[in-house]
Amino acid sequence: MTELERLQKRIAKAGIASRRKAEQMIINGRVKVNGKIVVKLGSKVNEKDTISVDDQDISGEKFEYYLLNKPSGYVSSNKSYPDQPSVTELIKTESRIFPVGRLDMDTTGVLLLTNDGDLTQKLTHPKHRIKRTYEAWVKGIVQNTELDQLTKPIRFDNEIYFPQAAKILKTDLNRAETFMEITIAEGKNHEIKKILEFIDHPVIKLNRNMFAGITLGELKSGQYRPLSDQEVKRIKR
């Protein structure tokens, strides 16, 4: 028996839009199944059905997965803004890819991009506790007592954060700065910057050097590569 799934889920899996936005596309008459417009939410399709959005066939959409060493000055979005280039512009592909989660415009390092909507949701939802490691230059000399706070729950700015680990890599006494590494597992908005602000050491520069077990290796700033089959299997697990 051919397995059925909701139409909006199929659209989301193809990386066209989130399920909520896919529902709106259906309501607006932008989706066809086997050549006929479908506007009823909850409609189900199987793998043999031909689905199109804005008359573009998405049935045979092939998933692509990329690792980018995000440079500063790019927004983590699939949309372009005036004077704010998007990270998607750095990757040459005909597919409609989007970043897996977000890095601030001035944050650099590991960023995954794909057109696999289901995987993106799994990797970014806090409940799955996907680990991310950052290198941060911060103002001031971080003390061990302050470092201990970064392994306990932190309540700051009406939010609770759960940092996993932190260590000091280097201190610059002349500049009164500390270079440190921090691991988190939720990826809330501006999480690293907020927990470091909590201990009174604002971020000067931030780089993500690991996400879901994927590291940059030899990739230079602005460079990218497709993920290997083994890497894709690993992050899907």
Please list the active-site residues.
104
Instruction: Of 51, 24, 65, give the one whose Cα is nearest residue 233.
Output: 65
Token pair 């909850």 in the structure block, residue: 42
Q: How far apart are CA 150 and CA 163, in angstroms?
A: 6
Backbone angles phi, psi at 131, to 5 degrees: -75, 140
- In one-letter notation, the amino acid at residue 4 is L
Buried b (16+ CB within 10 A) or exposed e, 148-170: eebeeebeeeeeebbbeebebee
Q: In terms of C-beta distances under 8 Å and separation of at least 24 residues, what long-range contacts does 21-27 make, across chains too?
A: 25/53
